[in-house]
Chains A and B, each alone.
Chain A
Amino acid sequence: MRRVAVIGTGHSKFMYNSPKTSVEMLSEVAMDAIMDASLKPKDIQAIFAGNGLGDFEEGQSSVSSYVADDIGCFNVPATRYEGACASGSMAVRDAYMWVASGFYDIVLVGGVERATAIGVPLATRAFCTFADSRYEFPAGFNYPASFGMLTYLYSTTYGVPLERLKELMAGVSVQSHEYGLQNPNAQIHQALTKEDVLKSPMISSPIQLHDCCPFTDGSAAIVLASEEIAKKLVKKPVYIAGVGQSSSGKISSQSKHYPRIRARELSVQQAYKMAGLTPQDIDVCELHDCFSIAAIIASEGLGFFEYGTAGEAWERGDTRLGGKIPINLSGGLKSKGHPIGATGVAQVCELTQQLTGNLVDLGRQVEGAKYGLTDTMGADGIVVNIILSAE
């Protein structure tokens, strides 16, 4: 296996009601990433793209193939990845493998979603297709309910009273919105207070509106290349130092581990082992805060905080710029937005900028950041982690 670098990035503005189609949204950022790497479409040997629900959203499947044609990467192998909210990072991991193995030298990885056009009820239904349609959807399952169940379980498992836990969860949303204000690509630019969160409508108890990320339209793309090529094309390549992926069955089958997510712990251990790093080595993290409780659970599973204590870490400021482990300085899924096919790729874009030192002007640069970790979780527990290294 040889080293692989991120040599170009492209990131759309995340938004409600994109006037562009999925193929257009992905093509635009793909071309941005290719130009950022000082390459031409003819240099791309294969395309790997995450897209969760194009079929529901636009009656459009096989976006990867149409993107290849639209941007002039004629006839290259172009593959769609579906892993619910982890679709994009799955594409990154597989693309990495193809280059690391020596089979390809330069590939494009992207992701796109256009979830807002179909409205909240159908989008909610479409997301429910990620659940077990035989054994759990019939009970009225939906993802806010899934994380509502995890919240009560977290409260009883770790002895954190619900009222206290809700306050800590609100703190997670408040921080994400604060950083989202500094990200021009964020979907939501709105300062939030804890009171705003705790007064927002109940969605699925005890999850309220401002514990939830929005539905989002958006896209992101990166170009991956072998170390040899990367060194010729860019001054400061950012390397993929470790990757991990793991799967899970339906919610009820995870009883032995809940509220911990076993798949995350297995996935991130693969990534840490491959990179030869531990959680203490990570300088900046973008993790899967689809719900406020999800961020708390994720940060513990990634090894940053003791189980049952991460909410307090947010309260202390450990997750802020300058804190012990800055988390979701992009605004996270909550404020930046969550276009599920693109989310994992967008996290890699963000951390590539962090490790290149490009975010000083935007006021969210982690000074001297060397190692970054991404975390995405799809469906009932499809987890992918990517570790990026500045050298």
Chain B
Amino acid sequence: MEYKLPFEVYNKNLKKGKLLGLKCNDCGTVTCPPTMACSECAGTNHEIHELSGMGKIVTFSVSYVGAEGRQNEHPLTIVLVKLDEGPWIMGNLIDLDPQKVTMEIIGKRVKAGSKMFPGDKYSAAAARPLFSFI
């Protein structure tokens, strides 16, 4: 069985700032990032669905120590955002100097843009959501 929304298509769209997921025709759950089966009912009767990219920060970490090849990106703020459509997604927060980030940002509303991770020796290039405050 083929993926309805493979990484390549998801990634191409996120690169342009469009966040795609899957909406289940059986239970209504939105799954994002995409998987093969619905994250709630495990069915595969779903359609590609464009998300608003809006949501609120549920947790975060300001990371000071990066993996080899990525140290120059740090410090950076990694966030988990609960999207308005339900799913959580991982991305980065801009708009605030990482060294000034505190727990105050939890619950703040944000909107997703995107930024490329250019890839390294091991992993392919991939877009990640880049959140800014609304």
Contacts and interface: CB of A to CB of B under 8 A. Distances in A.
Interface residues of B, number: 43
B87 A141 contact: no
Interface in B54-94: 58-71, 73-74, 76, 78, 80, 82, 87-92
Contacts of A207: 61
Given A129-B122, A135-B33, A149-B80, A252 B88 contact: yes
B106 interface: yes
A152 B106 contact: yes
B15 to A, nearest CB: 11
Interface string A187-198: 000000000000
Contacts of B91: 139
A121 B71 contact: yes
A251 B79 CA distance: 11
B60 A149 contact: yes
A140 B60 CA distance: 12
A144 B64 CA distance: 10
Name the residue among A137, A141, A156 with the largest chain B CB count within 10 angstroms.
A137
Contacts of A139: 78, 90-92, 117, 128-129
A246 interface: no
A128 B91 CA distance: 16
Interface string A124-140: 11011100011111111
A136 B80 CA distance: 10
B126 interface: yes
Interface in A154-182: 155-156, 162
Interface residues of A, number: 42
Contacts of A124: 65-68
B127 interface: yes
Contacts, number: 132
Contacts of A252: 33, 80, 87-90
A253 interface: yes
Name the residue among A121, A124, A133, A145 with the largest chain B CB count within 10 angstroms.
A145
A322 interface: no
A125 B122 contact: yes
B103 interface: yes
Nearest to B129: A139
Name the residue among A135, A139, A153, A206 with the largest chain B CB count within 10 angstroms.
A139
A125 B67 contact: yes
Contacts of B44: none
B115 to A, nearest CB: 9
Nearest to A118: B68
Contacts of B132: none
Nearest to A153: B59
A360 interface: no
B90 A141 contact: yes
Contact of A122 (B63, B65, B68, B76): B68
Contacts of B64: 201-205
A270 B96 CA distance: 45
A64 B53 CA distance: 47
A148 interface: yes
A253 to B, nearest CB: 6
B13 interface: no
Contacts of A155: 103
A141 B90 CA distance: 9
Contacts of B117: 137-140
B92 A140 contact: yes
B14 to A, nearest CB: 10
A26 B11 CA distance: 42
A255 interface: yes
A244 B114 CA distance: 40
Given A122-B68, A139-B92, A203-B65, A133 B123 contact: yes
Nearest to B82: A255
Name the residue among B39, B64, B106 with the largest chain A CB count within 10 angstroms.
B64
Interface of B: 7, 11, 33, 35, 39, 58-71, 73-74, 76, 78, 80, 82, 87-92, 101, 103, 106, 117, 120, 122-124, 126-129
Given A134-B11, A148-B61, 10 more contacts: A121-B67, A135-B7, A139-B78, A139-B91, A140-B78, A148-B63, A156-B106, A204-B62, A205-B62, A253-B88
Report the 10 A-B pairs with minimum CB-CB distance, sorted nearest first: A148-B61, A138-B117, A125-B67, A121-B68, A138-B128, A255-B88, A135-B33, A204-B63, A125-B68, A145-B61
20 contacts: A124-B68, A125-B68, A133-B122, A133-B124, A134-B33, A135-B90, A135-B126, A136-B90, A137-B117, A138-B127, A140-B73, A142-B66, A145-B78, A148-B62, A150-B59, A162-B103, A204-B63, A252-B80, A252-B87, A253-B88
